[in-house]
Chains A and B, each alone.
Chain A
């Protein structure tokens, strides 16, 4: 079972590595969206600093969402998905491998990039560390919940917009606690409660999302 997990995980990473541009686009999208806000709101540092946690988190949400289509899309198109479903290993476990690969390819780079963008918004010191911690806990949730939406919209008309409609309302708690952690830290309050809630959300998503994803994949492959 472990070998199957590693094989699926490795395959996804390898495929992404051979088509680097696809995944880099997600990161550029993140940077561009974040950079648009000062142009729209104005360059005064004070409002930007208070808005920074929200802006960074909303942009991360959108970037993670845009990359969801690729999680199962190619496998669905070329028949790999059917082989995964027929495999003797449990499908939720294999789906989890694909989710983990997606997180490594989007969540981790977003987390590494975010503090640099935070500096542009005048975040300094502890809030930056909290931002990284919150993203480390929050981005796996985005991949897990997003996987359900991605699996549900496989091969569906207008899947790209639809996945946004399905997934974004479910992302709201993560947005609230993730941005809340950074905002609390910037205001000099402990960010620990928010981070604990994010971790709780991650555990819950980890326990439920692979099964929902697997059920949705079976429906899609019928």
Chain B
């Protein structure tokens, strides 16, 4: 049986498919988020060292995971667009970038809110925090480059090269920051203590991570629909879409 792998590579066929998928992922995100938050707030026990303030990990850790996953996925789509010259792949990369930047920002923000009550400081030049901040710079660079180029095809290709260069650099940056941090060992708090986590905490965190996945996919699909409409506005099928 021959499968047409490229059926949904065309914006025209993907647009309605994305339209059907978006509500599904929204629903998943809401249901999983509700379950995860319920476990996080009511089922998971209070941490005997950090009290109630640790509960922010149910937002913080999934956001940090997503921030890294989305960068890799974005670079993969961008690279695919560069190699196969498929417009939709590049549109996916464009659509993912703002969600990735949002997740990075969320991880930094909740990290600061968590750091204040537990370590007594909003910010420490810890390896993970610093590399997360640099990741935010990489997202901003990608979006700024695409925004500065008017021709969308050129913006796609330039963004793809930048994303691929960034993906090679992310591990290098991470390890360099890590070694730099151990060299300047001044911080008194250890952030790398192995977490001995209660099962309910772990479960809540995993469910919240799935909710963040669903949200990110839903948001990216919603955004890619807008990108498709904007770029294909001259195409016949877009004009024939029912209004609204």
Contacts and interface: CB of A to CB of B under 8 A. Distances in A.
Contact of A162 (B145, B166, B172): B145
- What class of interface size applies to chain B in its complex with A? 20 to 34
A92 to B, nearest CB: 13
B149 A156 contact: yes
The binding surface of chain B is classed by DSSP as helix
A148 B168 CA distance: 13
Contacts, number: 77
Interface string B175-190: 0110110010000000
A110 B180 CA distance: 24
Closest 6 CB pairs of A and B: A173-B176, A169-B137, A219-B157, A176-B180, A166-B141, A176-B176
Given A156-B148, A162-B145, A166-B141, A215 B172 contact: no
Interface residues of A, number: 30
Tell me which of A162, A176, A177, A180 has the highest count of chain B C-beta atoms within 10 A of its own C-beta: A176
B161 A208 contact: no
A216 B177 contact: no
A18 interface: no
B165 A219 contact: no
Interface in B123-158: 134, 137-138, 140-141, 144-145, 148-150, 154, 157-158
Given A169-B173, A173-B172, A212-B161, A152 B145 contact: yes
Contact of A153 (B145, B165, B173, B180): B145
Given A152-B145, A158-B148, A172 B176 contact: yes
Interface of A: 148, 152-153, 156-159, 162, 165-166, 168-170, 172-173, 176-177, 180, 183-184, 197, 201, 204, 208, 212, 215-216, 219-220, 222
